[in-house]
A and B are shown apart, each in its own frame.
Chain A
Amino acid sequence: MATVAAAASSARPPWWRDLRVIRVVAQVVAAVVVGAALYVLWFNLTNNLRAQGIRTDFEFLDQPIGVNIAGSDIGSGASVRRALLVGLKNTAALGAVGLPILTVVGVLIGIARLSSNWIVSKLAAAYVELFRNLPPLLIIVFAFRAVVLRLPPAREAATPFDAFIVSNLSISVPGFRAQDGFETFWLLMAVALAVAVAVWVWRTRVFVSTGAPHRRVLWSVGLILVVAVVGYLAIGRPIGVTLPTLEGRAIRGGFTGFSSFFAVMGGLALYTASHVAEIVRGSIQAIPRGQGEAANALALSGFQRMRHVILPQATRIAIPPTINQYLNYVKNTSLAIAVGFADFVVIAFQAIGNGQPAPQLILLVMAGYLFFSLIISLVVNVLNRRLQLVTR
């Protein structure tokens, strides 16, 4: 019996049926096919560019862009590199303002959908079904053409509450202004934050080793708040609030943004919030019924049940898909091209229109988004691993 098995394994199959050979050959073939395809594309690209007298390197980045970028202090003489950086900054502004707004709206709507109040839950459902099923581009174009452009012209700008200036060109909201001692205050807050983190770790250790209540949120946040208030008073108002004011046709103070900025940001935030709301609802509903019932059986109050039983588990489920929605939001800000807001893509597009080489510029833009996306996916993967419940 043993000799039969040995004989069977020693007789090697012919090479074209030997799995070890097939595996190597298959991989080599795949690599060669892809490599050849890439080579053909590269060969065509360099050939075509040379035939049309277009440069193949990235030196065009230092040439003047040749157009004025609206809403920035750089003129047509600025280099393509600087203009692209302005575009990157504008894309980042869309993200920095929009992401907090869409998070708040999305979480509120998601919780409202689970409300026991019939009207509240139906309104939230209507919101989600309305926005989720519309193309984001259409929402942005509507927000721009049917809402923002119908605002009064800049000459007759509306000033509700004397705190906002609203026209179809730009919208100004109250803003913060750094005053004397701002840098000291900033430094102080950084130190306070570091200390708060240390306190958090210390309280956690105390809790783990002795079982005494950790109260780490109270300790850390309390520390930061106390330092902030004391520091603010001691330094003497390092941060001031400025209201925008009209002086002739110029707007001073506050935070002023193009109305197209608000159209893109608002439209996309409303759209993405509908997806976040669905994630929030789904995550809360995904918690097994028994968890809530067990909390009731332990006589926890409604708040305690949410705070200590439902939400800690729901957040675990909700965070990775929510970050994916953030990523979608940032990728969708590229739709700003529809309303001419000078984001990363629009500036690259303007450079192309002004005779700069298209292949390099488009690949550069793609690389920019790709870099950002890969970092976010890395964060999601790490979070996924950390958040996974350790069972058995």
Chain B
Amino acid sequence: MTATTAQRRSAPVVVSSPITWARTHLFRTWWDSLLTIVFGALAAWAMVALVRFVATADLTILRVNLANFMVGRLPRDQMWRPALSMVLVMAAIGFIGGVASASARAAATEAGLPFRVTRPVEILRRQWPLLATIAAVLALTRSIGPTVAVVSGLAAASVAYLLARRSPPVVRKWAWLIALTMFVAAYLALTVAGGVGWNGWGGIHLNLFITAAGILLAFPIGLLLALGRRSSLPAVRWLSVTYIELIRGVPLITLLLLGIFAIGYFLPAGLAPGAVARVLTAITLFEAAYIAEVVRGGLQAVPAGQREASQALGMTPWKTMRRIILPQALRATIPAMVGQFISLYKDTTLVSLVGLFDVLTVSGAANSQPDFLAQGFEVVTLPFVALLFWVGSYSMSREARRLERRLGVGER
């Protein structure tokens, strides 16, 4: 008797058949059912419209202009340069990933924790939108060159990753220098020995370059500003706060206009930087203020006890900052920095408003070519550009969220 009651009272076995699932998730009440029908119809209509649009769209304008969208007006006999540059950048990214993995493994072993290496399948599952977009763009190409370049880029990234994971500690110590060297090499691959300087760059390549260069240049300034804002010296603190609030209070476009139309007035006569240099200056000054706020968030996340403990150990203020505060603060800022990177990537479209030949300008130019003029091909080119930005932002924000969980930033 008691046994049967206990049996009856044991946890109900949940049968998860599609019908029970639909009953709990779609048709719980009459109101739920109504919502399901209305929004289900909307979703179905949107899906059908999207598939029909993609299937029937005339993509000639993209095929003809694909190189313009990617690298702008770069001479076509120089196309090996961006390819080589991309391979170097991919190798650098693979190297950084490998070093990060190796350091994490070393730290985990030291702490006696289990460590699991990310398998390639997981990367595929996480980043399929990015990989699918790359495949779609390659499907638009009319020669084998770009595919070869992308495949060798992926191969270079894998090799660098595997090499870096087996690297000795001394390589890990100087990893930032090695990675920086590879990035500089990628830049030189485009410019040296008859190459093209950045004023001749264009397309999505220019957007990516401005994003990376903007963050790299702005980071040291932002770090100093953040430290200045938390300084105990009133003059330093007020100067930092004033700069940060001034810059954060104005739209980026006004800074770009200042850079393009008025920066010449603030420089000694005879010094006339090119358009890309002007834009980079404006973006660096702008981004530094935002990075300062990101870093400030990280600094605030370090418990006061850490500083006090290092002072108790007799560390100098410099050593406290370098060895105790910054490593913890910067680790906590990684997700927010990725967010800032995404935001700058999206903001680089603004350079099209001040005359740079970025991917949005290319889209407008393609639509004014005689073959495509006034035929409404904006509905093809603009979504293509949107896809390039969307995939980049979406992939990075997913990685950022994963990092946030891994680093446990929100959990402390």
Tell which of A26, A338, A362, A370 touches B236, judged by Cβ atoms closer than 8 Å: A26
Pairwise interchain contact A31-B261, C-beta atoms closer than 8 A: no
Pairwise interchain contact B239-A34, C-beta atoms closer than 8 A: yes
Interface of B is mostly: helix
Q: A44-B266, A47-B269, A119-B40 are in contact. Are A373 and B249 (CB under 8 A)?
A: yes
Pairwise interchain contact B25-A138, C-beta atoms closer than 8 A: no
Interface assignment of A159: CB less than 8 Å from any CB of chain B: no
Of A59-67, A126-134, A309-317, A382-390, the one with at least 4 CB within 8 A of chain B: A126-134
Of A1-9, A139-147, A185-193, the one with at least 4 CB within 8 A of chain B: A139-147
Give complex CA distance A114, B315 in Å. 50
Pairwise interchain contact A119-B393, C-beta atoms closer than 8 A: no
Of A80-88, A173-181, A329-337, the one with at least 4 CB within 8 A of chain B: A329-337
Give complex CA distance A205, B390 in Å. 53
Q: A48-B264, A119-B36, A359-B262 are in contact. Are A135 and B234 (CB under 8 A)?
A: no
In the complex, residue of chain A having the shortest beta-carbon distance to the beta carbon of B39: A119
Q: By CB atoms of chain A within 10 A, which of B28, B35, B386 has the most?
A: B386
Interface assignment of B301: CB less than 8 Å from any CB of chain A: no
Pairwise interchain contact A345-B394, C-beta atoms closer than 8 A: no
Tell which of A117, A129, A146, A365 touches B36, judged by Cβ atoms closer than 8 Å: A117
Interface assignment of A55: CB less than 8 Å from any CB of chain B: no
Pairwise interchain contact B385-A138, C-beta atoms closer than 8 A: yes
In the complex, residue of chain B having the shortest beta-carbon distance to the beta carbon of A23: B233
Pairwise interchain contact B346-A129, C-beta atoms closer than 8 A: no
Min CB–CB distance B252 → chain A (angstroms)? 8
CB-defined contacts of B10 to chain A, threshold 8 Å: none
Interface assignment of B105: CB less than 8 Å from any CB of chain A: no
Interface assignment of A150: CB less than 8 Å from any CB of chain B: yes
Pairwise interchain contact B346-A45, C-beta atoms closer than 8 A: no
CB-defined contacts of A138 to chain B, threshold 8 Å: 349, 360, 382, 385-386, 389
Give complex CA distance A369, B353 in Å. 19
Give complex CA distance A259, B26 in Å. 39
CB-defined contacts of A108 to chain B, threshold 8 Å: none
Pairwise interchain contact B385-A370, C-beta atoms closer than 8 A: no
Question: In chain A, residues 36-92, which have Cβ atoms closer than 8 Å to a Cβ of chain B?
Answer: 41, 44-45, 47-49, 51
Interface assignment of A27: CB less than 8 Å from any CB of chain B: yes
Pairwise interchain contact B251-A145, C-beta atoms closer than 8 A: no
1/0 per residue, CB under 8 A from A, across B233-254: the answer is 1111001000001101111011
In the complex, residue of chain B having the shortest beta-carbon distance to the beta carbon of A124: B39
Interface assignment of B350: CB less than 8 Å from any CB of chain A: yes
Give complex CA distance A118, B386 in Å. 27
Min CB–CB distance B284 → chain A (angstroms)? 15
1/0 per residue, CB under 8 A from A, across B273-297: the answer is 0000000000000000000000000
Pairwise interchain contact B39-A142, C-beta atoms closer than 8 A: no
Min CB–CB distance B273 → chain A (angstroms)? 14
Tell which of B35, B251, B376, B385 touches A120, judged by Cβ atoms closer than 8 Å: B35
Pairwise interchain contact A30-B235, C-beta atoms closer than 8 A: yes
Interface assignment of A377: CB less than 8 Å from any CB of chain B: yes
Pairwise interchain contact A30-B239, C-beta atoms closer than 8 A: yes
Interfacial residues, chain A to chain B (CB-CB below 8 A)? 23, 26-28, 30-31, 34, 41, 44-45, 47-49, 51, 115-120, 122-123, 129-130, 132-138, 141-142, 145-146, 150, 331-332, 334-335, 337-338, 345, 349, 352, 358-359, 362-363, 365-366, 369-370, 372-374, 377
Q: Which 7 A-B residue pairs are closest in the complex by CB-CB distance? A: A373-B249, A133-B393, A27-B235, A135-B346, A370-B249, A118-B25, A334-B251
Interfacial residues, chain B to chain A (CB-CB below 8 A)? 25-26, 28, 32, 35-36, 39-40, 42-43, 232-236, 239, 245-246, 248-251, 253-255, 257-258, 261-262, 264-269, 342, 346-350, 352-353, 360, 367, 376, 378-379, 382-383, 385-386, 389-390, 393-394, 397
Given contacts A41-B266, A138-B382, list 5 more A-B pairs with CB under 8 A: A51-B269, A116-B25, A130-B390, A134-B386, A362-B257
